[in-house]
Amino acid sequence: MAYGVLALHWQVNVIKPEGFFGPMLSGPVAASGVIDRAARFHRDMSEAGVPLFFTRFVIPPGEGTLVRNTDFMHAVAGAQEAFRPDAPGAQIIPEMRELAASQYVVDNQKLSGLADSDLPELLAARGIDTVFISGVATNLTVEQTARHGTDLGLTVHPVTDCVTTATEEIHQASLANLALTTAGCVTAAEALRMTLR
């Protein structure tokens, strides 16, 4: 097996109070402690030689491949200046920015980090067949990307202590879905042990 980490939407717009989704997500994210856990997990995996692929939801001028086919996509399209690739809100959060700069950063305009991006090709070119997923939000980009990865033939493991969402109830329900639709949820410690075998 060849491993990789998909680090999804660790962006100011998603994680921080000043970001577009701040009113909905920043409080639960901060309360969960997920930022510190995920930052540590990312560092540990990088030190173990596992490549990291950070995804960013951005909207370039002209909207790229954005399709306004859900309420979510209508909402971000209406605030697309905040999602320009060089906008403050589109940047990787400070806690992970330095590491991300030494890894891979992939931009797209879809909820799944694997949709309409070069991420599948990057993984295939490196022979990566097994991925661990961290990110926010569990029931949105994490679940969408995990299902997509499974359909692409990847072995997918969501990392339970490195994902979160707006409420614990939704988070747990999403993890229950993911336990059935992926190769199984793991903790950060379990993921690291798997790569070191």
pLDDT at 197 exceeding the cut of 90: no
Could you list the residue range(s) of the whole structural domain that residue 113 is in?
A: 3-196
Check: CB of residue 57 under 8 Å from CB of residue 101: no
pLDDT, one tens digit per residue, over 33-77 is 999 999 999 999 999 999 999 999 999 999 999 999 999 999 999
Query: What pTM does this model have?
Result: 0.97
**CA atoms of 159 and 195, how far apart (whole Å):** 13
In the chain, the percentage of residues whose pLDDT exceeds 70 is 100
Sequence-separated (6 or more) residues with CB below 8 Å from residue 103: 46, 51, 52, 53, 54
Name residue 55's beta-bridge partners. 8, 106
**CA atoms of 105 and 89, how far apart (whole Å):** 15
Residue 83: pLDDT band with limits 50, 70, 90? very high
pLDDT, one tens digit per residue, over 151-187 is 999 999 999 999 999 999 999 999 999 999 999 999 9
How many independent structural domains does the chain possess?
1
Check: CB of residue 8 under 8 Å from CB of residue 113: yes
**CA atoms of 48 and 62, how far apart (whole Å):** 40
Nearest to 122 by CA among 11, 2, 1: 2
Question: Which H helix or E strand runs over 195?
Answer: helix 188-196
Question: What local confidence, expressed as pLDDT, does residue 59 receive?
Answer: 98
Joined tokens for residue 73: 């996509």
CATH assignment at residue 152:
3.40.50.850
